[in-house]
Structures are given as C-alpha cells and as structure tokens.
Amino acid sequence: MVAQAESLGSRMSAAITGAMTTSSAWHIYPDEQSYQADPVNNASAQGNALICQTNTDSGQTIVVLFAYQNGQLTRSENSAANITNTISNVTPTAGFVFNQNNGLVSGNFQIQTPVERLTFDAYGSSSRMH
C-alpha cells in the first residue's frame, strides 16, 4: 500500500513538473469550477487547480488540468472529462496544492496511507513569466 502510494505520488509530481516546465502558458485557479466559469478573470496566485498549455512538436496544443477536490488529485488532458490519472487520500501540504511566486510554480501534496503520510513536491516554471 505504501509502495503503491509512493509510486502514484511520484508519478503525479513528475507529471506536474513536466507540464509546468514544457508549458507555453499556465495559470492557477482557486478550483476547477472557477477555471470552468471564467478562465480569464478567475486566475489566482494560489489554488487547487493548475492549467498548463503545451504545444507539441507537430504544432498541436495540449491543455493539461491538474485539480484537487474532495481528497482526490486528478490529471486531465484537453478536457476536464478526459481524466488520465487520479490519486485518492490526498491533502494539500499547506492550504492549497498550487502556489506561484515570481514565475515559479509549486505543487505540494500529501497522500495518507494506513502507515504514514507521504509528502510530494513539484516545482517548475515555463519559458514565459506569468
């Protein structure tokens, strides 16, 4: 159980870091609903949803959404309904999962296992400042 949680957390942390460092644009939102309601005006310096826009070598745009809600952290691609990864028993390390400070984005979360609480951190910034 601990090894599985460690693997899931490490993969999600790596996915967050990868999305942030390869993105052409990113924004943090208080939650997924705020993003869906008004992605232009609801951006925030901290929150539980992170959107990263990446352009592939072929020119295709991919939008990746990381969202924390009700103890689950999910990764979706191109649509909130297209969930590609989910972790349960998650809590933000402090307040919110995602924070930004001077263009550096961090994602910090914990997974509770029956034995211990595992902490995961992701950091990154895109080539553009936000």
pLDDT of residue 112: 92
Closest among 3, 24, 5 to 13, alpha carbons compared = 5
Residue pair 68/49 in contact (Cβ under 8 Å)? The answer is: yes
pLDDT digits (tens, 9 = 90+) for 80-108: 889 999 999 999 998 999 999 877 889 99
Of all residues in the chain, the percent with pLDDT exceeding 90 is 70
Distant-in-sequence, close-in-space partners of 34: CB < 8 Å, separation ≥ 6: 42, 44, 47, 49
Residues (pLDDT < 50) of the chain are 129-130
